[in-house]
Structure 1
Amino acid sequence: MVVKRGILSVAAIVEQGITLADAEGLDAVSMRAIADRLGTGVMSLYRHVPNKEHLVELMVEAVSERYAYPDHTGNTWRQSLTVLAETDWAMYLEHPWTLVASLTSRPPIGPSTLRAMEWAYSAIAELGLPPKEATSVIMAVTTHVQGVAQLAVSERRLAESSDIDAVEWWRRRIHELDGGDHPHLEPIAQGFIEGDVEQWMIFDLTLILDGIEQLARRHRRGRATGRG
């Protein structure tokens, strides 16, 4: 695809990078590919964006801005973390390549990312947790969403190339292998498994939030008794 030639800008380059990543994945994004889509030479792009790494940072920043968390004034910490999870979930499923970009030891970080981090920490400030525990709380929610989103994206891709969904595949495979020695798997084999990945994400999120609530209670008791 070649877009109509126009004024070359960082915004135009970033938007083409996002469109390409949405359609073909992050690996498909290159300065050459974007230059071809814009109908210009590669060197013209380098005058605006120095390299692919910086381009990906700008792409993540642009998408993160579109999925900025809303004002959490008036929300409880639990409501806010639920909003965080639902917002991230929507972004990862709409733009799966952002999930790939985030799951590195040095993910792209820009102003939108810093605002999101500040939002998350301020949302749980009422819990009164020390910085280490507060970070663990946020990581518990974000990594949970990332993990289930990976599964959802993978299943969606497999469904596009297969005549059976993931749940049915598991059922058939268990039936093929089970010789009656795995009684706890029988309910799954009989079809009592819930196949909605988003429901798994929500159910497990509830368990995580319940655990966070218990953690906060222990800290409050510790402060009340002078041990925290």
Structure 2
Amino acid sequence: MPLDRSSAGDPARTLELLWRVPAGTPRRGPRKRLDIDAVVAVAIGLADADGLDAVTMRRVAQRLGVVPMTLYTYVPGKAELLDLMLDTAYLRMSRTDTAGRPWRDRLTAVAEENRALFEAHPWAATISTGRPPLGPGMMAKYEHELSALDGLGLHDVEMDAALTFLLTFVQANARSAAEARQVRQDSAMDDEQWWAANAPVLDRVLDPGAYPTAARVGSAAGAAQRAAYSPEHAWEFGLRRVLDGLAALIDGRAGSVETGPGAR
């Protein structure tokens, strides 16, 4: 299965595009009708509506009213376009000013900002960013998010790892939430309706005596969440556990210092 990942195109050209560096000597001829921002805006609109598979150079060109070959004079291909889309989404993210607040509040804000990003642009959660696009959006995002961990007694590598730990949870939760929405859409029924429709068959084939723990826990979780899986419950439970895990590192660090109102 193909993997959508960042930085899969020509790295030099991608960086030039991300930072809007002019490529070589300007060509003579008619003035260009489009610009990169217009191309990226259309691509993001297609991805938001129909997912990344809908983003092809041909479809973007059609939306812009140009032939596909014209589009290649702005962006070399889909790989570079994907980096531009992702960096633009990062650049437009909301960034909460949490200066002076306790570290848990600051990291919660970072988590919620990224969750909002993935809700607005579900496709962004599906992209592997092991090699992130180092554009202005990515750098502004990274700088902002690291500030939530600065001054806590962590060394630089620990700050980066702690942020990765938090954001990996957020991305995984976003993917699961998107999958749950897709299942509901494809089946044309919510989880309660699905379980009610299939309960008679399940009652015949599943023996609670053979799986006593699974039956007990599954019934309790299903009743509490009104589904086998609740993205909202997974978010609230998981974020607390992530912060608790980081507390073992941050609060236990000798000489850890918080500054500002409400600090420990």
Q: TM-score, length-normalised on structure 2? A: 0.73
Amino acid in structure 2 at the alignment position of 1:219:
R
Please list the CA deviations of residues 60-102 of structure 1 after superposition, one character each: whole Å capped at 9, or x if unmatched.
111112214222222222111111111111111221111122x
SS across alignment from 2:247: helix
Tell me the distance in 2 between the aligned counterparts of 1:9 and 1:221.
51
- 1:38 and 2:64 equivalent? yes
Tell me the distance in 1 between the aligned counterparts of 2:36 and 2:126.
22
Tell me the distance in 2 between the aligned counterparts of 1:39 and 1:116.
33
- Aligned-residue offset at 1:200: 1.6
User: Equivalent residue for 2:152?
Assistant: 127
Please list the CA deviations of residues 175-219 of structure 1 after superposition, one character each: whole Å capped at 9, or x if unmatched.
543442222222422543424312321221111112211212322
User: Equivalent residue for 2:218?
Assistant: 188
- 1:82 and 2:95 equivalent? no
Structure 1 residue corresponding to 2:165, chosen from 140, 158, 161: 140
> Residues 168 and 189 from structure 1, CA distance in 2 versus in 1: closer, same or farther, beyond 3 angstroms?
farther
Structure 2 residue corresponding to 1:60, chosen from 70, 86, 91: 86
SS across alignment from 1:129: coil
SS across alignment from 1:220: coil
User: Equivalent residue for 1:225?
Assistant: none
Tell me the distance in 2 between the aligned counterparts of 1:71 and 1:218.
26
Structure 2 residue corresponding to 1:151, chosen from 164, 176, 185: 176
User: Equivalent residue for 2:232?
Assistant: 198
Structure 2 residue corresponding to 1:93, chosen from 113, 119, 143: 119
> Residues 217 and 170 from structure 1, CA distance in 2 versus in 1: closer, same or farther, beyond 3 angstroms?
farther
Tell me the distance in 1 between the aligned counterparts of 2:211 and 2:195.
14
Amino acid in structure 1 at the alignment position of 2:209:
G
> Residues 70 and 37 from structure 1, CA distance in 2 versus in 1: closer, same or farther, beyond 3 angstroms?
same
1:49, 1:55 within 8 Å by CA — same for their partners in 2?
A: yes
2:114, 2:170 within 8 Å by CA — same for their partners in 1?
A: yes
Tell me the distance in 2 between the aligned counterparts of 1:174 and 1:115.
51
Tell me the distance in 2 between the aligned counterparts of 1:212 and 1:188.
29
Tell me the distance in 2 between the aligned counterparts of 1:164 and 1:193.
19
- 1:28 and 2:54 equivalent? yes
Alignment root-mean-square deviation, CA: 2.6
Task: Give aligned-pair identity as a percent.
Answer: 35
Larger relative contact order (CA 8 Å, sep ≥ 6)? 2
SS across alignment from 1:184: helix
Amino acid in structure 2 at the alignment position of 1:192:
A
Tell me the distance in 2 between the aligned counterparts of 1:38 and 1:17.
10
* Residue-pair matches, total: 217
Please list the CA deviations of residues 38-66 of structure 1 after superposition, one character each: whole Å capped at 9, or x if unmatched.
11111211222222111111111111122
Amino acid in structure 2 at the alignment position of 1:165:
D
1:155, 1:166 within 8 Å by CA — same for their partners in 2?
A: no
Unmatched tracts of structure 2, length 5 or more? 1-31, 257-264
SS across alignment from 1:123: coil
Q: TM-score, length-normalised on structure 1? A: 0.84
SS across alignment from 1:205: helix
Query: Which runs of structure 2 are paired with 1:12-27 in the superposition (5 Å)?
Result: 12-27=38-53
Q: Which has the larger displacement, 133-142 or 181-190?
A: 181-190
- Aligned-residue offset at 1:220: 1.5
SS across alignment from 1:93: helix
- Aligned-residue offset at 1:138: 0.9
Q: Which has the larger displacement, 203-212 or 125-134?
A: 125-134
- Aligned-residue offset at 1:174: 6.7
> Residues 151 and 38 from structure 1, CA distance in 2 versus in 1: closer, same or farther, beyond 3 angstroms?
same
